[in-house]
Amino acid sequence: MCGRYTETKAEALLKARFGFGNDLPVEPRYNVAPTQDAPVVVESRETKRRELRLMRWGLVPYWAKDVAAGVKAINARSETLEGKRTFEPSFRKRRCLVLADGFYEWRKQGGKRQPIRFVLKGAEPFAFAGLWDRWKAPNGQPLESFTIVTGPPNELVAPVHDRMPVILLPQHEALWLDREVTDLAVLKPLLVPYPAGAMEAHEVSSLVNNARVDEPACIEPGDGGVRQLSLLPC
C-alpha cells in the first residue's frame, strides 16, 4: 500500500512539469497522510485543459452515506479496479495525477520499523495514478477526494513491501487524464511498476512515523545515519 508520501516542489516547477493552467498555492509537504488535502491534476470537463485542485486523500464515492468511507479507500489495487463499486466508475471517467516527489515504506529491522523514502533519480517530481470522485454532504457541501492506485512492486521496493504506488510514465499521463478514454483495456496497460533503475531509496528520520509531523526533517538521514541505498537487501 501507499500510506505516506511527499510533494516538496514549488508550484512554478509543478506547473511547468504537469501543464496545468490555473494558479493554486501549493505548500511543500514532507509527510502527506490520509484524510489530508493534497494537490492533484485533473482534466476539466468543460475546457479539456488541465487543472490543479486540492482534494482529500481517501476516496469518498458519490453514493457513500458518510465521509468516513474514505478512510478505507486511500489505495485502490490495480488488479481489481474493474468490478469494484467504489473504484470502477472513477477508473472509467474520473482519473487524476497525484503530484509527488517521493513515497515512504517501512522496513522491519529487529523490533523497529525503519522508514525508507523512495524517489526518482534526480529528485524529479512525478505523478501517481489516481482516481477521484465528488461527494455531497447532507448539508449539500461538496467534497472532492482521491485514491492512489497501487500494484506489484519493482525490484527496488520488493524487499521492503509487496505493493507500491503506480507511478505513471510521463508519456502515459495525457492518456490517463483523457476523459474521453473509457476503455479499460486501453488504461490497464499503464498500471505497471515504474522501472527500478530510474529510482533510488533513502533511509530517513523516524520523525515521519508521526503523521502530525510535516517538516523538512522528515526526509533527513535516518537514525542510523544512512542516507542513500541503491539496493535494499532482504
Residue 229 lies in a domain: no
Q: Residues 36-74: pLDDT tens digits?
A: 999 999 999 888 899 999 999 999 999 999 999 999 999
**Spatial CA neighbour of 22 closest among 37, 2, 40, 4:** 40
- Full domain range(s) for residue 89: 5-219
Active site residues: 2, 105
Residue 231, pLDDT above cutoff 70: no
Residue 226 lies in a domain: no
How much is the mean pLDDT over the chain?
A: 93
Determine the pLDDT at residue 152. Answer: 98
Band (226; pLDDT cuts 50, 70, 90): very low
Q: Residues 150-171: pLDDT tens digits?
A: 999 999 999 999 999 999 999 9
Q: Residues 173-224: pLDDT tens digits?
A: 999 999 999 999 999 999 999 999 999 999 999 999 999 999 999 999 876 5
Residue 231 lies in a domain: no
**Spatial CA neighbour of 61 closest among 53, 72, 52, 77:** 72
Residue 132 lies in a domain: yes
Residue 101 lies in a domain: yes
Q: What is the pTM of this model?
A: 0.94
CA dihedral 34→119→98→124, nearest 10 degrees, is: 140
Q: Residues 94-116: pLDDT tens digits?
A: 999 999 999 999 998 878 899 99
Residue 192 lies in a domain: yes
Q: Select the highest-mean-pLDDT range: 20-24, 135-139, 193-197.
A: 193-197
* 9 against 229, higher pLDDT: 9
Residue 224 lies in a domain: no
Determine the pLDDT at residue 224. Answer: 56
Total tally of structural domains belonging to the chain: 1
Determine the pLDDT at residue 228. Answer: 55
**Spatial CA neighbour of 101 closest among 34, 182, 165:** 165
Provide CB contacts within 8 A for 67, sequence distance 6+. 60, 135, 137, 143
- The CATH number that applies at residue 142 is 3.90.1680.10
Residue 233 lies in a domain: no
> Which amino acid is residue 40, in one-letter code?
V
Determine the pLDDT at residue 230. Answer: 53
Determine the pLDDT at residue 46. Answer: 87
Nine-digit cell string for 103: 513515497
